[in-house]
């Protein structure tokens, strides 16, 4: 089985935050990744994330072999769009709580953009005005530990977020992931489909957190139209890869092993 995984992170969470997940995927898999999507000036955030998909494809083209794509939230959707455009770069894609939008979802997003309420249906509104600066590591750790989004994080993942999600600035620390970029990513969430799901020729799995308020049961409908599509659910909410990193790694290994056995039998 190919060992190469290319991982793409959730919006606002640099890839190093997922270090415990990556460690649990080793030694069977080698995880490659871009540290922060959306920060390369060659690929600025634009409508429907077109440039973000181009950025991912640029890095996949340099891998020298097809990869297993794994992405959380934003990252899973980027892999889905990229695999629709360039399936030869992939062996398969696992989306971790990434909403595969139905036609009705796309219509709502299009309307939200047009009539100016996109910040109310995405996390953009909650991101505006968020605290960006901290005196030191301990202050930042205490701050994020008290926020509902982080409350169920694995302790190591929370520490990794603070360690890698902030950078030294002056005498304090500041968020590394540019807040304006994070907001722009939310505001430009795609309202268009990358193509017909029936045309995707690589295996695709959507893994949903059972208590997620981002990926809802109806999002699995798109997977029914993918020839090698499947949907699964696991304990946890939208942030389950950072709440249960070892369990998530084991599930990813099981999915890839099953897909590899199927590919070997079809040879």
pLDDT of residue 221: 86
Residue among 186, 28, 208, 238 at smallest CA distance from 100 = 208
pLDDT of residue 204: 98
For the segment 257-261, the average pLDDT, to the nearest whole number, is 95
For the segment 51-59, the average pLDDT, to the nearest whole number, is 98
Indicate whether 233 pLDDT > 70. yes
Residue among 202, 250, 257, 245 at smallest CA distance from 3 = 257
Q: For residue range 163-221, list pLDDT tens digits in order.
A: 999 999 989 999 999 999 999 999 999 999 899 999 999 999 999 999 999 999 888 88
pLDDT of residue 1: 64
Average pLDDT, whole number, for the chain?
A: 95
Q: Are 106 and 161 contacting, i.e. CB atoms less than 8 angstroms apart?
A: no
pLDDT of residue 220: 87
pTM score: 0.96
How would residue 2 be classed by pLDDT, with cut points 50, 70 and 90?
confident
How would residue 127 be classed by pLDDT, with cut points 50, 70 and 90?
confident
φ/ψ (deg, to 5) at 44: -65, 150
pLDDT of residue 248: 98
Classified as helix, coil or strand, 55 is: helix
Q: For residue range 99-121, list pLDDT tens digits in order.
A: 998 889 999 999 999 999 999 99
Q: For residue range 151-166, list pLDDT tens digits in order.
A: 999 999 999 999 999 9
% of the chain exceeding 70 in pLDDT: 100
For the chain, domains (ranges, CATH) are 4-116+192-266 (3.40.50.1820)
Query: Whole-angstrom Cα distance, residue 107 to residue 101?
Result: 10
% of the chain exceeding 90 in pLDDT: 88
How would residue 124 be classed by pLDDT, with cut points 50, 70 and 90?
confident
Location of structure tokens 């993918």 = 226
């Amino acid at each position: 089985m190919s060992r190469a995984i290319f991982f793409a992170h959730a919006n606002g969470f640099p890839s190093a935050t997922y270090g415990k997940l990556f460690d649990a995927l080793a030694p069977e898999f080698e995880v490659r990744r871009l540290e922060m999507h959306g920060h390369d000036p060659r690929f600025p955030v634009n409508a429907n994330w077109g440039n973000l998909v181009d950025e991912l494809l640029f890095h996949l083209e340099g891998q020298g072999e097809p990869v297993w794509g794994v992405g959380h939230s934003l990252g899973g959707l980027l892999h889905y769009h990229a695999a629709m455009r360039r399936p030869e770069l992939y062996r398969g894609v696992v989306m971790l709580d990434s909403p595969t939008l139905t036609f009705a979802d796309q219509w709502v997003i299009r309307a939200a953009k047009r009539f100016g309420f996109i910040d109310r249906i995405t996390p953009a509104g909650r991101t505006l005005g968020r605290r960006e600066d901290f005196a030191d590591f301990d202050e930042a750790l205490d701050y994020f530990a008290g926020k509902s989004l982080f409350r169920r994080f694995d302790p190591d993942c929370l520490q990794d977020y603070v360690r890698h999600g902030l950078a030294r600035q002056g005498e304090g620390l500041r968020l590394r992931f540019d807040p304006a970029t994070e907001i722009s990513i939310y505001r430009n969430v795609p309202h268009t489909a990358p193509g017909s799901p029936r045309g995707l020729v690589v295996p695709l799995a959507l893994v949903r957190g059972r208590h997620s308020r981002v990926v809802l049961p109806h999002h699995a409908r798109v997977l029914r139209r993918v020839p090698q599509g499947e949907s699964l659910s696991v304990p946890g909410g939208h942030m389950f890869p950072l709440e249960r990193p070892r369990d998530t790694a084991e599930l990813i290994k099981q999915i890839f092993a099953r897909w590899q056995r199927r590919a070997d039998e079809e040879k």
